[in-house]
Amino acid sequence: MPLSRKTNWLICYDIANPRRLQRVHRIVRRFAATCQYSIFCKTATRREIVKLLDDLEPVIDPKRDDVRAYPLRPAGSHLEAGREYFPDGVYFMDD
């Protein structure tokens, strides 16, 4: 995937310490839209995602914490089950 092509990303984390958790949450919340408490969505380039992960590196404990970013398939190519997060008429779109 080219560094400059925009893609939808799922960003999630599991942070063991409450203080680090707050710091990580603040950083990621400024970057992406919240889907659930520790799961975020963002249309971004691979370069932007790498920068976010680099910014989080000094905040987390790599032996205890986990931060991941997954590229998502193009719109319309996913399956889902259960309750819809966004209300009718609200869509996640490119910046």
Domain with 61 in it: what CATH number?
3.30.70.240
Look-up: residue for tokens 């939808």? 8
Residue 66 inside a domain? The answer is: yes
Report residue 39's pLDDT band, with 50, 70 and 90 as the boundaries: very high
Residue 46 inside a domain? The answer is: yes
Residue 39 inside a domain? The answer is: yes
For residue 72, the model assigns a pLDDT of 86
Question: Looking at the predicted structure, is the pLDDT value of residue 88 above 70?
Answer: no
Residue 83 inside a domain? The answer is: no
Q: What is the mean pLDDT of residues 56-83?
A: 82
Residue 95 inside a domain? The answer is: no
Q: What is the mean pLDDT of residues 45-65?
A: 95
In tens, the pLDDT along 14-25 reads: 999 999 999 999
Of 5 and 46, the structure prediction assigns the larger pLDDT to: 46
What is the side-by-side order of every strand in the sheet holding 39-44?
33-36, 39-44, 7-14, 66-71
Q: What is the mean pLDDT of residues 71-78?
A: 69
HSE-up of residue 31 (Cα within 13 Å, Cβ side): 27
For residue 37, the model assigns a pLDDT of 87
* Domain enclosing residue 53, as ranges: 7-71
For residue 12, the model assigns a pLDDT of 95
Residue 82 inside a domain? The answer is: no
Residue 85 inside a domain? The answer is: no
Give me the phi and psi of 23, to 5 degrees please.
Answer: -65, -45
User: What is the domain count for the chain?
Assistant: 1
Residue 88 inside a domain? The answer is: no
